[in-house]
Amino acid sequence: MEMHTNKSDTNARSTRKKVAYVAVLALVIILISVIVASLVHRKILGDSSVEDPPWHRARLPKSLVPQHYRLELKPDLEASVFTGAVEITLYCLEPTRYIVLHANLLNITADSVFLKTFRGGSLTLEDWFLYPKNEFLVLKSKTSLETGQRYVIGIKFQGQLLEDMRGFYRSYYTANSTRRYLAVSQFAPMDARKAFPCFDEPAMKATFDVTLVHQSEHSSLSNMQIRQSEVRSGGWVADHYYTTVRMSTYLLAFVISDFSFKEGVTGVHGNVTLRVWAQRNAVTGGEVDYALSVARRVLVYYENTFKIPYPLPKLDIVAVPQMGVPAMENWGLVVSHENRLLYAPQLSPVWKKEAVASMIAHELAHMWFGNLVTPVWWDGVWLKEGLATWAAVRGVDAAEPTWMVKERYFVQSLHQILLVDSSNLSHPLQLTVTGQDDVGRVYDQLSYKKGASLMRMLNTVLDGTFTKGIVKYLQKYKYANAAQDDLWECLTEAAQEDGRTDVQVKDVMDTWTLQMGFPVVTVIRNYSNGSVTVSQRHFLYDPEANVQESLRNNVWQVPLAFMSRDSGNVSRDNGAMSSRDVLWLKKREEDFRSSIDASSWLLANTNQTGYYRVNYDVTNWRLMAEDLNSDNFQNIPSQSRAGLIDDAFNLVRSGDLAPAVALNLSRYLKREREYLPWLAAERVFGYLHMMLADTNSSSDLKVCGSLLAPVYHELGWEHSGEHTTQLNRLTVLSMACQYGYPECLQVARGRKEALDNGGSVEPSMKAIILQYGSNRTGSGLVAAILNRTRILVDSGLFTKEDLLNKLMTLVDSKEEKKLVFDFLRNNWDYMIEGSTVPSGLINKLTEEFTTHKDLRQFEDFLTSHPNMASRSDVTAALERIRQHVLWRERNEDAVRDWLARERYGRGTRTP
């Protein structure tokens, strides 16, 4: 027993020791965990001891600026990851201990960060941490960095090649049943920081030495040409690139792929190597040939026009399968979605060729506007996009002079953007942008199309002085940054040199860029004494909408360009001016005098060069309609005829003009043969069709078909004629079939039957034949998908988001859109769980909501799902529905009566 008792005591002591040891070990582990957690917390949130720390602000501090980057990236396409290292040379402008730069979604380890003097002396980093809210990486030096000195920071990092088409991402295509990957960069506006730590603001320009490491079966591309290729172990190759020019981080670019290319040379002196890259079958099939040809001609035009040579030795243009934007103007390495770049003459419709030329011209224009001279900050996006869009029209016109692009593109673009800018939800071109969340707001149609339209207006006012001022602007700010006031100053200097002391460009243009919308100019003539009263007010589809008045009181400085049927003039009281000279309306209302005969019409905004709408007194509208409905209709230029159609029907939308005035004007279209007026008519008649689609007056729109008959027979179905004739044919055929012109429908059905029996059709005609040559089956397919949604999602064949995107591409008719919207409304919680609503889906599904019932249904939907009500696309959809309902309240009865009279010769509606 005693023996047993003694053994029990020993075991008890041993057990107590073990328990004590485990307790101590547990305590140590807890303490270590707390310390590590504290360190990790500090690595994420930063130094809490600093009052008003610079990393709490949305913008980078100005104490340090980057001068040069040495960057190496090694993407693994199969594993979808990349590793990298960067060394950044900094110049110190103000003493600081904190180095603040951008980094987002990058893994950085503690031993991978260093700081040294430019001459190599090591400096101690006391701490570093990430601040995710502003996507900052902060390095804290033990000693203060000194003004006027240069320093070098080094960082190693890892990241993922995601497939979200932002930052450094992975794309793919399939060839011979094999998926092939490529790595592509898309850094604009704020995603360079996803590829490497950097000072990711447009004013933080620097030079770059880039090394791209890739497998030997791939090739790499960057902004410059390859200086040296180095073979490394494991089948890797390192391509070392020449140093770039000084530029912003968002313009740095990389592509790693197995693509092939076609090559040429461009530039005034033939010194720029030009290559267009794509999948091998697209290159051998000749689908890059047109892009190569048009790029060569456009770049030469820009060098001649802007008096500054393209500064790089090469230009690569790459067609990638997946891209989040249509194209990107990376300096020396333009990247485009392949659908926007490839053109097969035997397979592509005629409009595709123009789309390729326009894209190329726009991105190449950015080599000067955006790349050479860059906005100071993202509130100036409209400056680079508006100028690039303006220049691109001239670039395409130089490359394809028979297309008459200058004569028609701006009017097309103007009509589109005036629609957008007529909403009370519009905004000024120059917006306040503080951080990442605001940047998306400025990349909209206004920056591109309104910006270009305003440049066209100013170009018209200044004439040749405008291009002279643009050249001044580019020369003064090349390799630097500029704001809109810098452009206005250069244009004013050029105007004064040319004797144009009457124009202070800033005073004029601030009224157009710093306040939202545009004016409707109303011209009221006194036919007895020849006086003309011209007034302006903010044009809105809903004039009663609650819109805050701008600091400039919603008054614009409006350039007026008058013309008339006779040789009369419009002038101020202090002297006559030619009817084609510019008069300025700078107040809400001004009086002018006129020598125009009382029996002659007066037209303002000749060729629609001004960014505004024009209304007239009823007599002047009648005089114009009478001339248009006569053999003299071409007295009014085709651009102005298009403008009159667009203005008249949109003034009906705003309640400023009786529907009969616009409809009476449109009667002249039976005489019209040119493209621009028919393009304007297609848009406004399409709106009428949408408004009346659910009424028994929709068939009365066959009146539109009778207006089309003469031009329909003249153009026919055969693919022939100049480029604009071919485009006009597509517009006229589509309208004729849409409005039930019997012969058009008969031909469409015959050609569809021939196609079904193995025949061929001209690619441009195919869409019309498929749409109008047979009964629609789309609704059945949409309904089938909706009925099987849960099966398709639960089986893993589709994600919910993929399914919604697929439906967005399929829906076309009002019935299909209503079907999908009702499905979403009834299955909302299921469809958005773990998913997001694709941008544009709600907008598309509700674009034909026009009734009070539609409006109530949509408002009930938003009440049930209040989180959706704050989305900008949803707000815009709601506003548009309200506009449609308002139009029907104001105009439906009058339009239906007019159509009935035209069709049946009586004032009652069709039964």
How far is 235 from 215, CA to CA, in rounded Å?
A: 6
The whole-model pTM stands at 0.91
The pLDDT score that the predictor gives to residue 111 is 87
Write out the DSSP string of 848-868: T--SHHHHHHHHHHHHH-HHH
Write out the DSSP string of 286-340: TTTHHHHHHHHHHHHHHHHHHSS---SSEEEEEEES--SSSEE--TTEEEEEHHH
Q: Write the CATH number of the domain with boundaries 780-904.
A: 1.25.50.20
The pLDDT score that the predictor gives to residue 46 is 57
Strand pairing category for 570-571 and 589-594: antiparallel
The answer to whether 847 is a known catalytic residue is: no
Domain 259-367: CATH superfamily is Neutral Protease Domain 2 (1.10.390.10)
- Residues 29, 34, 39, 42: what is their CA dihedral angle, to the nearest 10 degrees? 160
CA dist list (Å): 426 to 310, 401, 422, 862, 880: 36, 35, 7, 21, 12
Please pick, among 363, 407, 489, 674, the residue that the annotation labels catalytic.
Answer: 363
How far is 508 from 559, CA to CA, in rounded Å?
A: 9
- Is residue 385 a known part of a binding site? yes
Instruction: Answer yes or no: are the C-beta atoms of 86 and 197 closer than 8 Å.
Output: yes
Q: Class of the 518-671 domain?
A: mainly beta
The pLDDT score that the predictor gives to residue 776 is 57
Tens digits of residue pLDDT in 544-601: 888 877 777 899 999 999 999 887 678 776 554 443 478 999 999 999 999 999 999 9
Other beta carbons within 10 Å of 502 = 9
Tens digits of residue pLDDT in 742-788: 999 999 999 999 999 999 999 999 999 998 998 655 567 788 888 88
Which residues of the chain have a pLDDT value below 50? 1-42, 576-580, 906-911
The pLDDT score that the predictor gives to residue 772 is 92
The pLDDT score that the predictor gives to residue 784 is 83
Domain 403-513: CATH superfamily is Neutral Protease Domain 2 (1.10.390.10)
Evaluate whether 259-367 and 518-671 have a shared fold. no
| Nearest residue to 770 via CA among 749, 787, 790, 784 | 749
Which fold, 58-257? Immunoglobulin-like (2.60.40)
- Is residue 489 a known part of a binding site? no
Domain boundaries, the chain: 1-45, 58-257, 259-367, 403-513, 518-671, 780-904
Residue with tokens 């194209």: 327
The pLDDT score that the predictor gives to residue 268 is 97
Q: What is the DSSP letter of 575?
A: B
